[in-house]
């Protein structure tokens, strides 16, 4: 757990980002604070947002219902006789895909794979994120693919791996949407059932 002073700084940074209308923080606010979930990015950035809101957001991100509860939690951990420091908890992973056309990539992931656009940044967009349920993929614009495409396909260099509760059901959904598969659904020697999709830039995304 970071120190209370560092958490205060985090909250102030979030408040500054909101005041500066950074679209990346709009998605975070909407995801963490229920009262903002009905708003789109522009609505979140136009809404009143105070330091207390930013502090509540930081608290919720660390597993507490309120800023006061977070402060009490830190105090209790500070006062305990147990000097063992627990390991940091990894909350999520967001693989980054390099794409030459953000709009084309978004159209593919939303139109074919059922993702939604979480945010786009820049005009024209040079960075964005698409998400579906608990999976998120960050999209980074590049002028040219930084990988050897032939080598990537031959060696099956994956850009992301996504775990699914029912991989056959998802495979059939993608099949009905007209997705062209890099690898058809199959059972691996270790028992996992997998398939691979290539996006328009050749990024290989495995579903398992």
Residue 174 is part of a domain; what is its CATH number?
A: 3.10.180.10
How many structural domains comprise the chain?
2
Q: Is residue 193 situated within a structural domain? A: yes
Q: Does 83 score more than 60 pLDDT?
A: no
Please indicate, yes or no, if residue 183 is contained in any of the structural domains: yes
- Cis status of the peptide bond prior to 97, with omega within 30 of 0: no
pLDDT, the chain, mean: 89
Indicate if 15 and 40 belong to the same structural domain. yes
Residues 52 and 136 in one domain: no
For the beta carbon of residue 53, count every other beta carbon within 10 angstroms.
Answer: 21
> What is the residue range of 191's domain?
96-207
**Same domain for 174 and 101:** yes
Model confidence band, residue 86 (pLDDT cutoffs 50, 70, 90): low
Please state the rounded mean pLDDT for residues 135-160.
93
**Assigned domain for 61 exists:** yes
The answer to whether residue 43 scores a pLDDT higher than 70 is yes
Lowest mean pLDDT among 69-73, 78-82, 129-133, 183-187: 78-82
- pLDDT tens for 151-182 read 999 999 999 999 999 999 999 999 999 999 99
State residue 85's pLDDT score. 55
Residue 123 lies in a domain: yes
Return the number of other C-beta atoms located less than 10 Å from residue 108's C-beta.
21
Judged by phi (left if over 0) then psi (alpha if -120 to 50, else beta), residue 42 lies in alpha
Q: Is the pLDDT of residue 145 over 80?
A: yes
């Amino acid at each position: 757990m970071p120190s209370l002073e560092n958490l205060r700084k985090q909250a102030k940074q979030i408040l500054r980002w909101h005041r500066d209308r950074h679209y990346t923080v709009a998605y975070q606010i909407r995801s963490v604070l229920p009262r903002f979930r009905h708003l789109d990015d522009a609505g979140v950035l136009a809404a009143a947002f105070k330091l207390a809101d930013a502090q509540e957001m930081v608290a919720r991100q660390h597993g507490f219902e309120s800023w006061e509860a977070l402060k009490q939690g830190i105090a209790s951990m500070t006062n305990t006789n147990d000097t063992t420091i627990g390991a940091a908890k990894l909350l999520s992973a967001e693989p980054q895909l390099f794409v030459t056309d953000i709009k084309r990539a978004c159209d593919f992931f939303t139109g074919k794979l059922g993702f939604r656009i979480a945010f786009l940044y820049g005009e024209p967009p040079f960075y964005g994120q698409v998400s579906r349920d608990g999976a998120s993929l960050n999209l980074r614009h590049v002028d040219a693919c930084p990988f050897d495409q032939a080598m990537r396909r031959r060696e099956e260099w994956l850009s992301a791996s996504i775990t699914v509760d029912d991989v056959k059901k998802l495979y059939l959904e993608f099949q009905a949407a007209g997705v062209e598969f890099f690898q058809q659904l199959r059972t691996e020697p270790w028992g996992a059932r997998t398939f691979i999709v290539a996006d328009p830039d050749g990024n290989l995304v495995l579903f398992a």
